[in-house]
Structures are given as C-alpha cells and as structure tokens.
Amino acid sequence: MTDLARMRKKRDDQGSNVQGVLIVDKPEGLTSHDVVQKVRRAFSTRQVGHAGTLDPIASGVLVLLVGSATRIAQYLQEDDKEYHLVMKLGIETDTQDITGEILKQKDLAGVTEENLVSAISRYRGTFSQVPPSFSAVKRSGKPLYRLARQGVRIQADPREVTVYDIEVSRVDLPHVWMKVVCSKGTYMRTLCHDIGRDLGVGGCMESLVRARSGRFSMEDAVSLDDVTRDPVPEKWLRQAADGLGFPVTEPGDEDLMRLVSGTRIRCDDCRREGLVSVTRKGRLIALAQAMKTEGTVMLSPRRVLEPDLKELFKQMDK
C-alpha cells in the first residue's frame, strides 16, 4: 500500500462525510466520466457527478459535485457556458470535430472574411439545433455515440438553444477562432458544422476550451492531478451553495430539523420570495422556497440534501 493510500484509508476509517463542488480543469483526451471515476477514487465515494459533460477533445471547466451535493446537479446544469474554440473550414467529419472520419473536403474559394462573419452572426440568438449522432443524447436509454460506434446512426431530435454572444477573435483560413456564450445543451461541434454548411464548404471543430460554466471560470479550476495526488482532496472543495447564487440563510438546529422533516419554518432574514440555500456552518442542508404569507416569509423544503441531521450534527460539532 502506498503512502497516499494509507493516508486516505486512515481518513476514511475516521469517517469522512464530504460535500462540495469541485472545479476541475479537464485535460484533453479524457471523457467527463473518466474524470468522475478518478475523483471517486480520490474521495473514496461513489457520490460524484458532473454538471455538464465535456467531449474528450475538449478541455477546461468541468463542474463536479461530491457527496450530497450531487442532489443539486439539475440547478447547476441550467447555467450558461462560455467556450473558446477553433473551427476548421473545408472539412466535414462524421463526429463534426477533427477526430472523426472525413466525409467531405472542399477548397475555400469564395470564402471571404465578410461572408464568414455574416454566416456566423446568424447564429446569435435562439434557434433549433440538431445534436450530432456522436453525442451523449440518449435514445431508449442508450447514448447515441454508443449506437454510432456500432454503426447505427440515429438523428437526434432538434432542440432549442440560445447563443447569447458569438465573437470572431481571429481568422487565418482555414481556421477561425471564436468565443461563444450560450445556453446549456448547445453543441459547439454542431455550430461549426452548420456554419461550414451555410458557407458551402463544410466545417468542423478543431479544438475547444470551456472557459466558464455558470459562476465558475478557469480561475476557479484546479488540475486533476492536484486533486488525485492529494491525501486530503477535500481541501479543493468549494461549498455547495457557492455555485447556486441563491440567498443563504442559517436557521437554528431545531428549525433545521423541522424543515428537513417537511415542516415550514419562519425566515426572518429572507428579503424576497424564491429559492433559498439553507445551510449550517456553511454546509448546504436543503433548498427551500421562500414565500410571503401575511407579511411573514416562510420557508418550505424543496430539495433536502441532508435528511439525517442528528448524525451530521455530531460530526460537524466534533
């Protein structure tokens, strides 16, 4: 047993009840699931998930949820994203990125910076996008990329996506550098493919970096090696409430017990209606709905992360 394994075993034997958000700079070549598996081993828990996948070709911000924080994944998945990418014109591939099999090649005669910028600008706003066959979109419970690798190509249903901003930062044909801010579920590969089709020459994505996911940017990210080689990886975690952006309240222990058991409680420090993060010593216990009733704001539980508070209080108060 290595020294690192011994230190982690000692920590686990003493009891570890971790919860938090981990922002990893995903390296190229790994799937998001690969990263999840490595982090599961580092924290000795199966309770690790992500809030939005990244393709193996991509690097950058991958938001991971550890412990009971996995129960807030749906809220973080809704966040907008910022990407920096390179599009290569003149090539179409079956995966819509540079790693795929080349289907068509064309020269770029007739492509000018003016008509290029015009074609790109048409993808600013809300529009319908068809995800690629090689994607994590599921059909009958199976990801399309698995079916595609078996030779079964299924066209995904179109979905509505929004590009809030798209900027061309550099053009050196056949390459185009872009920054895109968009809604969840927007495929950068498909964006490159569709722009290339509009220009009549084809296009694919050559590289991709996710620079931001919701409230988290590359400045918040840590390397995967730093996390997996650390005997105390918990030090890299952020509090689960950090990424949500909801108002935070810390009721007393009795009120917390009542809330997680399904009872409404009064919230004197809540200033408006809406979702609220309910914490104890910074740890996220529940999400609650604040509602004003006869001049008093009451909290009703919406998502309970920590139902066994008695045991949790013992651990937190050691």
Q: Which residues are known to be catalytic?
A: 55
Among residues 210, 171, 187, 182, which one has the least CA distance to residue 87?
171
Across the chain, the runs of DSSP E, i.e. the strands, are 19-26, 48-50, 58-67, 81-89, 91-93, 102-105, 125-129, 138-139, 142-143, 159-172, 175-182, 203-213, 216-217, 222-223, 248-249, 265-266, 274-280, 283-293, 296-304
Q: Is the dihedral of CA 304, 217, 18, 224 positive or negative?
A: positive
- Type of residue at 199: L
Alpha helices by DSSP H, listed for 80-235, are 113-121, 144-149, 188-199, 224-228
* CB-facing half-sphere around the CA of 128: CA atoms within 13 A: 3
Phi–psi pair at 268, nearest 5 degrees: -75, -25
Residues 6+ apart with CB under 8 A from 222: 22, 23, 24, 25, 236
Q: Which helix (H) or strand (E) holds 77?
A: helix 73-77
What are the C-alpha distances in Å from 143 to residues 29, 156, 169? Answer: 19, 10, 34
* CB-facing half-sphere around the CA of 171: CA atoms within 13 A: 11
Angstrom distance (rounded) from CA 268 to CA 220: 33
- Type of residue at 203: G
Q: Is the dihedral of CA 50, 53, 57, 62 positive or negative?
A: negative
The two tokens of residue 48 are: 């690790």
